[in-house]
Structure 1
Amino acid sequence: MTVKKKSWNENEAILHSLQDDILVTNTDGIILKVSDATGDIYNVNSADMVGKSVYDLEKEGVFSPILTPIVLKEKKKITLVQTSKEGKKLLVTGIPVFDENGELVRIVSYSHDVTELLNMKKYLTEMEDEMERVKSELEILRSRHYYSEGIIASSNEMKKVLQVALQVAEVDVNVLLLGESGVGKSHIAKFIHNKSQRKGGPFIEVNCGAIPDSLFEAEFFGYESGSFTGADRKGKVGLAELAEGGTLFLDEIGELSLSNQVKILKFIQEKQFYRVGGTKQRKVDFRVLAATNKDLEVAVEEKEFRRDLFFRLNVVPITIPPLRERTSDIITLIDYFVNHFCEKYQRQRELDEGVVHQLLIQDWKGNVRELMNIIERLIVTSSKPLIEMENLPGPYIKHSADLSGFEYNGQSLKDILEAVEEQVLKNAREKHKTTTQIAQNLGISQPSVVRKLKKYKIK
């Protein structure tokens, strides 16, 4: 029996040689021709699609939506995104075909799998959103001057402190941070650590004044199991050991007893130690930062602090000025703390100008910590959006009365505030030579200083 060989069709050969999905329908949506690639894309047999209606295939979920009715209506090239039964995303284009009389007789469509492109677009969109978020956070940080590791430095005094801190951060030199309680010594210590080559290591803070003298050695160096009554049966790693590869910050170093000072000195010199009850010598690689609000030189003279330990720690001393000596930081700090606590407690509050003036003229014996506490107190206890003089605790109002030198009885609040402002400007004028310096220290613009000096006839 002789098998009749199927005749070769050039158009069919060209159609099936294409790697893309090509589908031809009539105006009723009946599929007339289809490329081999079409079946692979829609996970069906291409030959089985011929003679079927695209409307039926849409109902079966093979693909959706269909182009045929849109092209019939618009009579022009149409492109849309189609979804296959397997969830593929296809960019489908439908082209109308007209006969010699201009009648639409066929619709040819072709598609490209754009699933990966759409996923990439989604990923890029998410990345753009993330970059915008990071960019916004950076802008916020820049707007807060030197606010880094909890530091706000608008004043020249604090900027100098940070400049020195940045210089010493580059080398493993011992640094002694000096200043009153609440000025931010621990924040400067963290700043130095984070700017150093050890920033990838731990920052271990040891409050020498908070650990009982009898427990200091065990807490600092750790202990082996069964070392003493009440000890953990497994033993304990000490704070010194935890500082491996990082920074060891000895806060309130002036509170250490003389006996523990000896142990700390030996540890700093040799960078090795024994746990309590242990016989194995342990080595630690660390950098030492220390801080105190005491005058250690006086303590040395009075035999309360070891001279050799003092010189070991005092390689580079950095003195952080009290808040009352850097008044331009007060305005920036007030603004930051108000925003911070309003966000924390979900309240909308702002300070009356009179309240700001009152805060500017305080002694701030507790420095930044005291300022932070009073702002938090005002945000929490005030019942109105505007925090006024009546919300201030009594001691904070008395200070301004003492400074102004005049009686408040019978005067309006406006007169009182202007009198306080005048006194502040007079004091600033006596202390600083130029209006630019006054502006920097009061946290206002130079034109405002000029205008206010003229208003109060201060020369």
Structure 2
Amino acid sequence: MEQEKRISLARLTVRQYDTILNHCNSNIFVTDGRGQILYANDAAERALNCSFEELRRMDIYQLHEKGYTSHSSSADAIESGKKAFAVYRNNLGEEIATTSIPVPDRRGGIEMVVTRSDEVGTILAQQKELDRYRTLFQQMLTRSEGPAPTLIARDPGMARIVEALKKYAASDVTVLLTGESGTGKEVLANFVRQNSRRSGGAFLSVNCAAIPNDLIESELFGYEKGAFTGARREGKPGLFELADGGTIFLDEVGELSLVAQSKLLRVLETGEFMRVGGSQVQKADVRIIAATNRDLKAMVAAKEFRDDLYYRLCVVPVSVPPLRERPLDIEALAGHFLKIFCRKHRIQRALPQEMAERLRRYPWPGNIRELRNTIENYVITGDEPFLPAAAPPAQEPVQGPREAAAALSLPLKAVLERAEEAQIRAALDACGGEVARAAELLGIHRSVLYKKIGKYGLGHGPSYR
């Protein structure tokens, strides 16, 4: 592998090497073992406020004497023969953090010193962004060790699903829950956990759609101290360590990038992982339950989801029906939420029969999540919600063979995308461009809606926020 790598790199020209280094986000600065300056990329020239034509006529000691730097980590590395860290001020008054690494020659001396540096302000901004991502991740990650939420299944079809899940819960088989957003997949996942031998263990639920690609490995598997810039001094356990002996619920698993999918597959296949920056293999005793509102089979065919991960997750597939197909559950859930929110807000409300009838007729595009929000709003305000009944299907004109053939010439995917775009436009318009409210109305996660807004170019219309 190393030989192939060297052969491949040998084909690069000096100009290409220079282009690569100039496209690094950091300042790259190289000296020989005596401190003579050999190379500086464009970013290093800007940081030193000096052109390379001038730099190559100096060594690092002269650079310091002439006031371009207040300190030199390159000099420290040459003197000690070890990696050196420093923070210096350039002649513009900017603080620059540097790391200098000596490269030994065959005689045990120093052939060159490679220095990488960044402005301290840039590093702090990156740290702030990383902290923001970590905070976001912790908000998405929920840990539940109490009783599972109440599971209501009055509808015969839903009752059959619950009975099947009871049987699956007895083993550690991986379960894949599919269905529209808001149908209660997390409640069902918790139900499986409560009826399994792992009921006393942790239940960790994470929204895969919102994990940044550059954090997936460290958040799932943890990291050792000093593994990367900004890492906690003591290191950090990952999701699989925290859930050892318990259950992990991977919600919106269809939103994982291909890179993240490959990293997840490895631990699912072997049950083994290593922390980022670590060398010790660890074993994870974790039961996996996954959920998605996307068609993973279609994603596999489109090369958007790994087929090996799909078959690893889809050992037991369970399709959760939308609320509009569970009419007997609508009134039962409404009554359940009514009790919860009356107790929470210390308000007494009844559910009028006429309102209950309208609840049953409404198609609930946001499913249980929308019903829950509707009932809470009713409890707080006392105003019965406006719920338009499902529109009757439009009367299709009678088509002859030619018209029918023309209609069928449009691919099904295009038809579905047109319908999806129209629905998203309508939801955004109804919510005044507020993405969070529109996502709730559509019954999808906000991050998913942002992706679809970009897909259909809807960001060029109203100001969505």
Equivalent position to 1:399, from 389, 404, 407: 389
Aligned-partner SS, 1:205: strand
Aligned to 2:175: 175
Aligned to 1:192: 192
* Cα distance in 2, alignment partners of residues 238 and 309 from structure 1: 20
Q: Do the aligned residues in 1 keep the contact of 2:322 with 2:367 (CA within 8 Å)? A: yes
Q: Do the aligned residues in 1 keep the contact of 2:148 with 2:194 (CA within 8 Å)? A: no
Deviation of 1:148 after TM superposition, in Å, equals 6.0
Aligned-partner SS, 1:182: coil
Residues 376 and 404 (structure 1), Cα distance of their counterparts in 2 relative to 1, 3 Å cut: farther
- Sequence identity (%): 47
* Cα distance in 2, alignment partners of residues 164 and 298 from structure 1: 26
> Which runs of structure 2 are paired with 1:118-157 in the superposition (5 Å)?
149-157=149-157
Q: Do the aligned residues in 1 keep the contact of 2:253 with 2:291 (CA within 8 Å)? A: yes
Aligned to 2:376: 376
Paired residue type of 2:205 = E
* Cα distance in 2, alignment partners of residues 177 and 279 from structure 1: 35
Deviation of 1:403 after TM superposition, in Å, equals 5.3
* Cα distance in 2, alignment partners of residues 191 and 351 from structure 1: 28
1:320 aligns with 2:320: yes
Cα-to-partner distance string for 1:17-47 (whole Å, 9 max, x where unaligned): xxxxxxxxxxxxxxxxxxxxxxxxxxxxxxx
* Cα distance in 2, alignment partners of residues 329 and 360 from structure 1: 9
Q: Do the aligned residues in 1 keep the contact of 2:224 with 2:277 (CA within 8 Å)? A: yes
Cα-to-partner distance string for 1:185-243 (whole Å, 9 max, x where unaligned): 11111111110111122112222112112111111111111111111111100011111
Deviation of 1:150 after TM superposition, in Å, equals 2.8
Aligned-partner SS, 2:250: strand
* Cα distance in 2, alignment partners of residues 353 and 403 from structure 1: 23
Aligned to 1:267: 267
Cα-to-partner distance string for 1:82-135 (whole Å, 9 max, x where unaligned): xxxxxxxxxxxxxxxxxxxxxxxxxxxxxxxxxxxxxxxxxxxxxxxxxxxxxx
Residues 312 and 404 (structure 1), Cα distance of their counterparts in 2 relative to 1, 3 Å cut: closer
* Cα distance in 1, alignment partners of residues 272 and 393 from structure 2: 58
Paired residue type of 1:209 = A
Aligned to 2:223: 223
> Which runs of structure 2 are paired with 1:309-458 in the superposition (5 Å)?
309-382=309-382, 391-393=384-386, 396=387, 398-399=388-389, 402=391
Aligned-partner SS, 2:209: coil
Aligned to 2:243: 243
Deviation of 1:294 after TM superposition, in Å, equals 0.6
Deviation of 1:280 after TM superposition, in Å, equals 1.1
1:279 aligns with 2:279: yes
* Cα distance in 1, alignment partners of residues 352 and 248 from structure 2: 43
Paired residue type of 2:150 = G
Aligned to 1:414: none
Q: Do the aligned residues in 2 keep the contact of 1:226 with 1:232 (CA within 8 Å)? A: yes
* Cα distance in 2, alignment partners of residues 283 and 335 from structure 1: 45
Cα-to-partner distance string for 1:345-376 (whole Å, 9 max, x where unaligned): 11111132222221111111111111000000
Residues 308 and 404 (structure 1), Cα distance of their counterparts in 2 relative to 1, 3 Å cut: closer
Paired residue type of 2:363 = D
* Cα distance in 2, alignment partners of residues 369 and 289 from structure 1: 20
Aligned-partner SS, 1:213: coil
Deviation of 1:149 after TM superposition, in Å, equals 3.0
* Cα distance in 2, alignment partners of residues 283 and 326 from structure 1: 41
Residues 301 and 404 (structure 1), Cα distance of their counterparts in 2 relative to 1, 3 Å cut: closer
* Cα distance in 1, alignment partners of residues 196 and 393 from structure 2: 46
Deviation of 1:286 after TM superposition, in Å, equals 1.3
TM-score normalised by L of structure 1: 0.52
Root mean square deviation, CA, Å = 1.8
Q: Do the aligned residues in 1 keep the contact of 2:213 with 2:259 (CA within 8 Å)? A: no
Aligned-partner SS, 1:289: strand
Residues 331 and 404 (structure 1), Cα distance of their counterparts in 2 relative to 1, 3 Å cut: farther
* Cα distance in 2, alignment partners of residues 304 and 363 from structure 1: 31
* Cα distance in 2, alignment partners of residues 404 and 337 from structure 1: 31
Q: Do the aligned residues in 2 keep the contact of 1:206 with 1:239 (CA within 8 Å)? A: no
Paired residue type of 2:324 = R
Cα-to-partner distance string for 1:275-319 (whole Å, 9 max, x where unaligned): 111111111111111111111001111111000100011010011
Aligned to 2:455: none
Deviation of 1:249 after TM superposition, in Å, equals 1.5
Paired residue type of 2:366 = G
Cα-to-partner distance string for 1:357-410 (whole Å, 9 max, x where unaligned): 21111111111111000000111112xxxx5xxx323xx1x326x4599xxxxx
Paired residue type of 1:185 = K
Q: Do the aligned residues in 1 keep the contact of 2:249 with 2:290 (CA within 8 Å)? A: yes
Q: Do the aligned residues in 2 keep the contact of 1:177 with 1:319 (CA within 8 Å)? A: yes
Aligned-partner SS, 1:193: helix
* Cα distance in 2, alignment partners of residues 194 and 167 from structure 1: 12
Aligned to 1:253: 253
* Cα distance in 2, alignment partners of residues 175 and 392 from structure 1: 36
Paired residue type of 2:192 = I
* Cα distance in 1, alignment partners of residues 305 and 222 from structure 2: 24
* Cα distance in 1, alignment partners of residues 178 and 184 from structure 2: 10
Cα-to-partner distance string for 1:429-457 (whole Å, 9 max, x where unaligned): xxxxxxxxxxxxxxxxxxxxxxxxxxxxx
Aligned-partner SS, 1:200: coil
Larger radius of gyration: 1
Deviation of 1:252 after TM superposition, in Å, equals 1.0
Residues 184 and 289 (structure 1), Cα distance of their counterparts in 2 relative to 1, 3 Å cut: same
* Cα distance in 2, alignment partners of residues 148 and 284 from structure 1: 23
Deviation of 1:248 after TM superposition, in Å, equals 1.8
Q: Do the aligned residues in 1 keep the contact of 2:323 with 2:329 (CA within 8 Å)? A: yes
Cα-to-partner distance string for 1:322-361 (whole Å, 9 max, x where unaligned): 0000100011111111111111111111132222221111
| Runs of 5+ unmatched residues, structure 2 | 1-146, 395-465
Aligned-partner SS, 2:289: strand
TM-score normalised by L of structure 2: 0.52
* Cα distance in 1, alignment partners of residues 158 and 207 from structure 2: 24
Query: How many residue pairs end up in the alignment?
Result: 248
Aligned-partner SS, 1:317: strand
